[in-house]
Amino acid sequence: MKQLNTPYFYILFTYPNKESFTSLQQIFTQLQHTKSLTDKIKFSEEEEDENSDVETIIPFVDWNNYLTPAAKQWFTNTFDFQSEEGKVYLRLWDSTSVAIRSYNTFFIPPGNWSLESVIESILACEYTLVALEQLETTKAVLYYDPWSAPFGGVESLWQLIWAFDCQIVYDFYLDGVPSAEESTWSYDLAKQLVEQNKGLSN
């Protein structure tokens, strides 16, 4: 694929309709604003004032207001950590060594990321959200600028784009087309291990 002539990292994607693109642009713009505020606080050289009201600096945002019906549906297909299955997951996680749980697809929760996880990850990652622009009919690009390496990855940006029923056709950092990593989670096996007070082993 011919690369764009830009100094920024970018994600190329197609979108199904104007509603999806417009809504994605709106949530991206709000993320830009909120992230710029959180980044200023994170890297401020001034001493923190324990009495300061952070909410006056970073106003509450109801991110659900930006979601299309497709995005709302996307974010309902998430893993519930408050459910019995979720509690089993967390107990097994605690019982498993870091070396195994960090790289084993068994611990990839089934389903999509939650909206909260996507937003929190984007706000925490070390890059600047530069722009989200239309290139041509049904094709657009998201530009971002990493501060250094590592910068936290772009999986949360993929999840955001996918949630609005868009298809990623090229990721500059990956140099290819990303796909969600498949989970090998098994509730039945996890319950057996927890009942035996065992962690997952290779």
Query: Is pLDDT above 70 for 5?
Result: yes
Q: Both 94 and 129 in a single domain? A: no
Q: Both 144 and 103 in a single domain? A: no
Among candidate residues 182, 180, 186, the one with its CA nearest the CA of residue 85? 186
Residue 1 lies in a domain: no
Q: In terms of residue numbers, what domain contains 145?
A: 8-44+55-77+112-171
Query: Is pLDDT above 60 for 49?
Result: no
Peptide bond into 150 cis (omega under 30): yes
pLDDT > 70: what percent of the chain?
91
Tens-place pLDDT, residues 60-110 = 899 999 999 999 999 999 999 999 999 999 999 999 999 999 889 999 999
> What does pLDDT average to over the chain?
90
Q: Both 129 and 198 in a single domain? A: no
| Overall number of domains in the chain | 2
Query: Is pLDDT above 50 for 51?
Result: no
pTM (predicted TM-score): 0.86
Q: Both 130 and 145 in a single domain? A: yes
- The pLDDT-based confidence of 54 (bands split at 50, 70, 90) is very low
Query: Is pLDDT above 80 for 58?
Result: no
Which one has a higher pLDDT value, 151 or 172?
172
Q: Both 141 and 156 in a single domain? A: yes
Q: Both 38 and 123 in a single domain? A: yes
Residue 50 lies in a domain: no
Residue 130 lies in a domain: yes
Which string of DSSP letters, residue by residue, matches 153-173? -SHHHHHHHHHTT-EEEEETT
Query: Is pLDDT above 80 for 121?
Result: yes
Coil vs helix vs strand at 28: helix
Residue 2 lies in a domain: no
